[in-house]
Structure 1
């Protein structure tokens, strides 16, 4: 398994919270923590991790004692979270184990990746995506029925979007998409005031996510089009749209439009799966736009 960019940032962030730099440089314990708890290294014995430390010109003695020190630091930093997630017995084992118990670190590893990582993804997924976003502020626009009719009747050129778009609460809007790409596939994600969901592809807004079919949403075959609700925002606040243009379709079952989940909830588990699939493609592009919903 190859660690994704998202996973690399997670373990780097945790290591940065646990260990202070010395003269701006990583300490031996920080390097050891990154290696021992990397997702790529789970199957490696401590002896191999020790050799990796040597390869990085980090000569340490008694690697098991060092790993126990890393787990002590982890427990002290996240004691309440660890206790709530894995229970008092396993929490105690992180620091009260005997020196001969060689694989206690796996308790910490599983907590990091099964529990802490998903909470971290929920908080950091959007910002990691946005760091890839191009400086393009006019790829999306929202227009109500009156504005759409005027554009069509008078042939007005597309209005350039501003840094923050403003729309009115409880009012239906059309979404216009204008990307430089014309071949491939298009994902549209929404982080709303009260929810996070997949807009495209979805039964609610866009059953077909080929780029050439994504210029006006909702599509005619979609639920929002049939019910004439289009894009309607029910809460005042900030909405964020993130688009991803990619060359090939994604093999994710929950990404296939269906009537049971008309706009798929973007859970932390799905965020992780989506990122993994995206990294299998070399050339995916990200676009981001904030929308302010006002009264």
Structure 2
């Protein structure tokens, strides 16, 4: 058996297989090979072609047994294929597509702008979708409730009312978050992520909403005691209309990641692409975890 692909390699390979024409002899086509090499983070510092033969053309020669006849033309074809596939996402991310497709003669490093978009914007979406597909989407594990549904004894939630579908969150309203997963998850550790159109961050553990990730009771109410929000009597509030996604990972032992270590006064941690890779690598090593997913519409 070959070595298991990293999540980055898996991401690149899936794009290459879905966008570019397949070779009939089992080898990658020139377009596939160039894309996999040029957009691999390990090759970011390499030129397309140089006099030292430490470049993408030389790597393609090793892979395919021949060099491309016109590397700039090949690059243009690959970028056009990427734009054709992801135009909607690129426009939403405010990437200047016109200047990329209609680069001036002699303009260099056009690929770097597409590369940055691919890894800074599209890759986190891919990781999120990979985790979402592994998640339980049927269990009604998360709710947002106002104070009328929270009894005076903290953490005790009154019987819930049936939730409408799709789930709705009223905007600009202060709400408590209730986690109500299976009872056998008690004393495990919770990682709770929130993703919206503009933000992607870690809700738990976080100094802002829940410094401690250990699930001490179910249902579990946030903000928790000791959080910044609890100290200043602040709740969850959504001011922007749109979709809010939540993904929870429940694991027996806390993951050893530096950005999970909550420091006093710290707010929620942003989920950068590199941090998501670190998370995925830890989960792949652990295997003993469950995940839950739910989306809400803020109106």
Q: TM-score, normalised by structure 2?
A: 0.69
Aligned to 1:88, the other structure's residue is in SS state coil
Q: CA RMSD in A?
A: 4.1
Residues of 2 paired with 1:90 and 1:172: CA distance?
Answer: 47
Moved more, 138-147 or 274-283: 274-283
Aligned to 2:151, the other structure's residue is in SS state helix
Q: CA deviation at 1:142?
A: 1.6
Residues of 2 paired with 1:28 and 1:115: CA distance?
Answer: 24
Q: CA deviation at 1:144?
A: 0.6
Residues of 2 paired with 1:255 and 1:276: CA distance?
Answer: 15
Contact 1:219 1:225 in 2 (8 A): yes
Moved more, 246-255 or 218-227: 246-255
Structure 1 pair 83/200, CA: closer, same or farther in 2 (3 Å)? farther
From 269, 276, 281, the counterpart of 1:276 = 281
Residues of 1 paired with 2:187 and 2:230: CA distance?
Answer: 24
Contact 1:15 1:33 in 2 (8 A): no
CA offset digits 1:18-54 (Å, max 9, x no partner): x22479x9864466457756969979x859964xxxx
Q: Unmatched 5+ residue regions in structure 2?
A: 44-53, 83-96
Partner of 1:286: 291
Q: Unmatched 5+ residue regions in structure 1?
A: 51-59, 92-107
Structure 1 pair 174/263, CA: closer, same or farther in 2 (3 Å)? same
Partner of 2:240: 235
Partner of 1:64: 67
Aligned to 1:285, the other structure's residue is in SS state strand
- Correspondence 1:70-149 to 2 at 5 A: 71=75, 73-77=77-81, 88-90=107-109, 116-149=118-151
Contact 1:218 1:224 in 2 (8 A): yes
Structure 1 pair 35/76, CA: closer, same or farther in 2 (3 Å)? closer
- Correspondence 1:187-206 to 2 at 5 A: 187-206=191-210
Structure 1 pair 261/63, CA: closer, same or farther in 2 (3 Å)? farther
Residues of 2 paired with 1:5 and 1:90: CA distance?
Answer: 25
Structure 1 pair 3/238, CA: closer, same or farther in 2 (3 Å)? same
Tell me how many residue pairs correspond in the alignment.
Answer: 262
Aligned to 1:277, the other structure's residue is in SS state helix
Q: CA deviation at 1:14?
A: 4.1
Residues of 1 paired with 2:101 and 2:17: CA distance?
Answer: 16
Partner of 1:53: none
